[in-house]
């Protein structure tokens, strides 16, 4: 079975890199990967957002095994960006 810990570490590294330039305070949670999964052990991973996905809100990341096996696992993530924004109290003339 594939140990979830290195998969989680690869996802954390990927999300840290993807959210680095976002304004405000960024936090994220990563969904659980079944510890009793039926995936063959893997030595290295490629993590990616789905095509067209933004690095915030609810989404999933694809984790693809690059060494030792051939599988792709999708893991749910929630990315939050907190900051201060200006809001007009009435419509602005254009």
Concatenating the DSSP letter of every residue in 8-34 gives: HHHHHHHHHHHHTT-SSEEEEEE----
pLDDT 10s digit of each residue in the chain, 94 long?
899 999 999 999 999 999 998 888 999 999 998 888 999 999 999 999 989 888 889 999 999 999 878 999 999 999 999 988 888 999 988 7
**Which residues are CB-neighbours of 36 under 8 A, at least 6 positions away?**
1
N-to-C CA span, the chain: 60
Return the pLDDT at 8: 95
């Amino acid at each position: 079975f594939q140990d979830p810990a290195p998969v989680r570490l690869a996802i954390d590294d990927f999300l840290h890199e993807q959210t680095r330039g976002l304004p405000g305070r960024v936090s994220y949670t990563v969904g659980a990967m079944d510890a009793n999964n039926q995936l063959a052990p893997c030595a290295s991973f490629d993590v990616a957002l789905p095509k067209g996905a933004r690095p915030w809100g609810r989404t999933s990341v694809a984790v693809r095994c690059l060494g030792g096996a051939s599988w792709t696992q999708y893991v749910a993530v929630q990315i939050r960006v907190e900051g201060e924004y200006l809001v007009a109290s009435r419509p602005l003339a254009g």
